Structure formats: structure tokens, C-alpha cells
Amino acid sequence: MKAWRKASFLLIGIIFMFFLTACGGQESSSSTNEGDSASNEEKKDLKDVKIVLNWFPKAQHGGLYAAQENGLFEKNGLKVTIEPGGPQVSSIQMVASGSADFGLAHADQMVIARNQGIELVAVAAAMQGSPQALMFHKGKGIDDFDELNGRKVYIQPGITYWDFLKSKYNLSNVQELAYTGQHSNFISDPNSVSQAFVTSEPFFLKKDGVDVETKLISDAGYNPYNVVLYVTKDYLEKNKETVKAFVDAFVEGWYLYKDSYEEINKVIQKDNADMELESLKFEAETQVDFVYGGDRAEHGVGYMTEERWATLIKQLHDLGLLEKTFDAKEIFTTEYLPKHESK
């Protein structure tokens, strides 16, 4: 009898413990579901925005990818889609048509777009200076641009800075040849000159066994901001909070990229499999002065000045590339840049 009662109590205890465990499991499951639901709800609340790049994904877009990879856009309430650029893609036309909300372009491209009635507003400049340059075989460089006379120069027809150089220097004895993106002709002629980006072409020429040197176009006084983040004037007026959220993440992303570029480059490579990690590393390291130099030290990444924009507007108008001048304050603003702290 005692044994039976003892067994009964034991059975009741087991049933009771099973009941508690089941309830606890339900509660835990319920909490998890509630957490998932809240997380899903937060994601539903994210605002969809698209940015189109000025070229295929490269290290020059490192800050953008760092912001995306570290969840900075989501933290600021945005779900960002990154669309690659390319030779057949005009970020300015896409943003102007409403196919994308944000774009990246060079400052001179933005100014010239005014000829088409496209009013854009720059909200941050990833590069304080331009890495555009002329490239020479090692030991065949120049001190000043008028020394180009008597030499073959491979240059893209209609490229803005070449028009500027020809207006400032007498280059009547230069033999202009179309730049095609291939360097075989340049390599075979030690006295020839080619357009280049200091962040790119020297790396590839070195791989081909050719040592080169470069001269920045900015040495001539033409130095537009590069990789500029912009929106249309209309979009800015209607989406100020979105622009602020995007710019905050974009700028913070550039600070993160500076110390984590090798990891972020792997993410960039997923979107541009043609780029070698070695090439992305070279670009990231040679663009440091352009991104983190200049006015960045005092004002932070992304900063722009009215003087620089006004100078560019005048230069393009003097070249006949801009039909009508306008106030520099119409094409840029630093209002949405985060407050600068030394980093």
C-alpha cells in the first residue's frame, strides 16, 4: 500500500514537472515569436531607397559598402539597394528620372547637367581631391603640362580636364590619340602619355612589368570633388530626414572603411567579381589622401566648400561647357553632414 502511494506521488510529480516544462517552453517560444515579430515589424518599417554608383563597385565606394555591411543604414531606418554603374549607365539620368533616389558622380558632371535643366544637390563628397592624372613611363615625366608638346597623348575624346589643360597651356604640338582603355600602344612607346587614375592604372601597369609615374591634373588648378553623393533638388525638399539618415551612415561608413578596408573589399568583390582583391587593396591605400586629406582633418569626411564649387562653375563656363552660371549654394549643402569629431 505504501509502495503504491509512493508510486502515485512520484507519478503526480513527474506529470507536474512535465506541465511546468511545457508551459515554460510555450512561454519561451512565445517570447521568441514575439521577438521575431518585432524584428520583422522593424524591417517592414525600413524605408526603401536606391543608390546608383558612378562606376562598377570599387574601393572608391568603400564607405558605402562599409555602411551597408555594418548595418548603419538599417540602424537609421533605411533599406538600401546599391545599383552598379558602368559605361552604359548614367547615374545622373537615373536619379533625374526617379529610377534611383541617390547617386554618385564627379562634381563637374553635376554642374554640366544644369545644361539639361537637371538640378542636383551634392550632400557629401567622398573624395576631397581628384585622382585623375596623366601617366608616363618611369623617368619620362614632366614638371609642367606644356612639356606635353611633341608627344603622343592617349586621352578620351571630350574629357573635361583635357579641355581645361588645352585652354590653359599651348598644347598645339601634342598628338592626341583616342584612349580606349587598353594600354598596349602606351606600353610600346616609352615617350607616350596616357590618361589615368593614380588609384588604378599604375597597379595594372606594374603587373605588366611597366614602371610608371603620374602627374595629377589638379596641379594645373582643375580639381573637382570626386565620388560625390547627391540627390535632386526636389527629392531633398521632400525627403530631408531620409537624406540626413543616409548621409550620416555614408560618412560613418568611410571612417569604418579606413580601418577595415580589406574585409569590406571582399564584400565589394562579390558585386564586381572582375576586380582582384590585390587591386582593391591598392586602390584603397592610394586613395587615402583623397578621402581623408584636404578639408577632412578640420571638417570631417564629406565636407565641401562654396569656394571650390564656385571655382568649378566658373571654369566650366569659361570653357563653354556650362551655358549659364549660377550660385554655388544651389548645387551643394553641408547641412546634412554629421557634426565632426576628431577620428
pLDDT along the chain (343 residues), means of 10: 38 36 39 45 81 98 98 98 96 98 98 98 96 98 97 96 98 97 95 98 96 98 98 98 98 98 98 97 97 87 97 98 98 95 61
Give alpha helix (H) positions in the chain.
2-44, 62-69, 72-75, 91-97, 107-112, 160-168, 184-188, 201-207, 233-238, 240-271, 277-286, 288-292, 296-299, 306-318
Q: What is the pLDDT of residue 342?
A: 59
Q: Does 28 reside within a domain?
A: no
Decide which of 204, 219, 234 is a domain's last residue.
219
Q: What is the pLDDT of residue 168?
A: 97
How many structural domains is the chain composed of?
A: 2
Q: Are residues 235 and 163 in the same domain?
A: no
Q: Are residues 126 and 228 in the same domain?
A: yes
Q: Are residues 115 and 248 in the same domain?
A: yes
Q: Does 41 reside within a domain?
A: no
CATH number of the CATH domain containing 148: 3.40.190
Number of Cβ atoms within 10 Å of the Cβ of 166 = 16
Sheet holding 175-178, edge to edge: 175-178, 152-155, 193-197, 132-137, 212-216
To the question of pTM greater than 0.85 for the whole model, the response is yes
Decide which of 219, 242, 263 is a domain's last residue.
219
Q: What is the pLDDT of residue 239?
A: 98
Q: What is the pLDDT of residue 44?
A: 65
Cell reading at 175 = 598628338
Q: Are residues 125 and 244 in the same domain?
A: yes
Per the CB < 8 A criterion, the answer to whether 176 and 153 are in contact is yes
Q: What is the pLDDT of residue 294?
A: 83
Q: Are residues 126 and 51 in the same domain?
A: yes
- What is the radius of gyration, based on Cα positions, of the chain? 28
Residue-range definition of the domain harbouring residue 283: 47-130+224-330
Q: Output phi, psi for 311, to 5 deg.
A: -60, -45
Q: What is the pLDDT of residue 296?
A: 78
